[in-house]
Amino acid sequence: MPPRLLTAVAAIIFISSAVSFFFGTTPLGYVKWFIGATIIQFIAQYVITLILDARLGVQIKKLEQENILLLSKTEQPAICPCHVKNVQHIPILFDEQMTYKCNKCNKDLSAYLDITTALVTTPLPASDLDANLTKISQQIDEHTKQAN
């Protein structure tokens, strides 16, 4: 027997013995109180386990819904290269190989990503827009003169 199970059985026997010692005045009364306390402990443990399992189930469903919501944010349309050109929305995951099955031709397909980078710039202030446009047009004129 695993040590955890032995500990639980020992606790049940100890509690049942203590209850029957305090309330059982005769040997027959001792046995009745011992059996009654043991049954009550098993019923209480069953009820507590049901409540904890229900709470855990609700928490699991909540996490699954959050996961579905996050996956829906990362879906992209993918076109099957078969003759049907079926469009499916597939989840884009960076930690797994992205394979999916076409709904029309039932072929396994892979999806690959191409990532493009861009510099982040500061926007031009709207108050100096005319001055900035003038500077930009002057710079363009200078570059065209130098090129010629």
pLDDT at 63 over 70: yes
Q: Give the ranges where the chain is alpha helix by DSSP (H).
A: 3-23, 27-73, 129-147
Confidence (pLDDT) at 58: 95
pLDDT one-digit tens code per residue, 69-115: 776 667 778 888 877 778 888 877 766 677 778 888 888 888 777 77
Residues 37 and 66 in one domain: yes
Confidence (pLDDT) at 46: 92
Within 8 A by CB and 6+ apart from 60, the residues are: none
Cα separation, 15 vs 33, whole angstroms: 11
Cα separation, 123 vs 110, whole angstroms: 39
Domain span at residue 47 reads: 3-71
Give the total number of structural domains in the chain.
2
Q: Which residue has the tokens 């199970």?
A: 5
Q: Which is more confidently placed, 126 or 56?
A: 56
* 16 inside domain: yes
Residues 24 and 50 in one domain: yes
Residues 48 and 26 in one domain: yes
Residues 36 and 59 in one domain: yes
* 17 inside domain: yes
* 121 inside domain: no
Residues 79 and 66 in one domain: no
Cα separation, 85 vs 79, whole angstroms: 6
pLDDT at 57 over 90: yes
* 144 inside domain: no
* 119 inside domain: no
Cα separation, 13 vs 143, whole angstroms: 94
Mean pLDDT for the stretch of residues 130-147: 82
* 81 inside domain: yes
* 127 inside domain: no
Identify the three-state secondary structure at position 66. helix
Confidence (pLDDT) at 73: 66
* 32 inside domain: yes
Confidence (pLDDT) at 51: 95
Residues 10 and 64 in one domain: yes
Phi-psi bin for 14: left (phi > 0), alpha (psi -120 to 50), beta? alpha
